[in-house]
């Protein structure tokens, strides 16, 4: 069953028949996680790198932000039996849409926020398809952990 992961959303599954899919990865970060030992899979679609510190109200949607959403996805995976040592992580998106080149390069900032989180937690990406100027769709097949990226009528394994 195909399960849609919307912008600023996250899904975790342990059902082998599920395919987690997110569309419209432009500057957004898509991160797929899979534990082959337990068959637990997760996919997150983050819009922005970091939630602002000192906000007057708590963040309503942590999945919008890399620094809040990715750790929350990891906790959800661990709660379903995944382990840090077994997780396979793959990232996509983080592009520069409309050829914008300035300090507000959201795609590069999203990827930098992810790399910082992974370094702090002594984790690494197995594969990435980031940058550039194309939008991407990312599919994670829960049965095998296979990740397929598609864009502009083409598809490839990540």
Delimit the domains of the chain by residue range: 2-157
Identify the CA nearest to 12 among candidates 62, 78, 64, 60: 78
pLDDT value at residue 107: 94
What pLDDT is stored for residue 52 in this prediction?
A: 78
Fold of the domain spanning 2-157: 60s Ribosomal Protein L30; Chain: A; (3.30.1330)
Buried b (16+ CB within 10 A) or exposed e, 131-147: eeeebbbbbbbbeebeb
**Stated pTM of the model:** 0.95
Residues of the chain scoring pLDDT < 70: 53-56, 98-103
CB atoms within 10 A of CB 93: 28
What integer pLDDT is reported at residue 101 of this predicted model? 61
């Amino acid at each position: 069953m195909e399960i849609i992961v919307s912008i600023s959303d996250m899904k975790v599954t342990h059902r082998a028949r599920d395919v987690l899919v997110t569309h419209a990865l432009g500057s957004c970060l898509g991160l797929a996680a899979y534990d082959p030992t337990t068959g637990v899979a997760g996919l997150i679609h983050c819009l922005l790198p970091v939630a602002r510190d000192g906000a007057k109200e708590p963040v309503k949607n942590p999945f919008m932000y890399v620094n809040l959403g990715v750790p929350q996805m990891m906790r959800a995976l661990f709660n379903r039996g995944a382990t840090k040592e077994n997780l396979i992580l793959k990232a996509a998106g983080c592009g520069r849409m409309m050829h914008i080149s300035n300090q507000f390069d959201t795609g590069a900032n999203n990827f930098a926020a992810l790399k910082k989180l992974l370094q702090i937690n002594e984790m690494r990406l197995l594969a990435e398809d980031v940058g550039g100027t194309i939008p991407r769709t990312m599919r994670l097949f829960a049965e095998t952990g296979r990740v397929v990226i598609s864009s502009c009528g083409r598809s490839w394994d990540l």
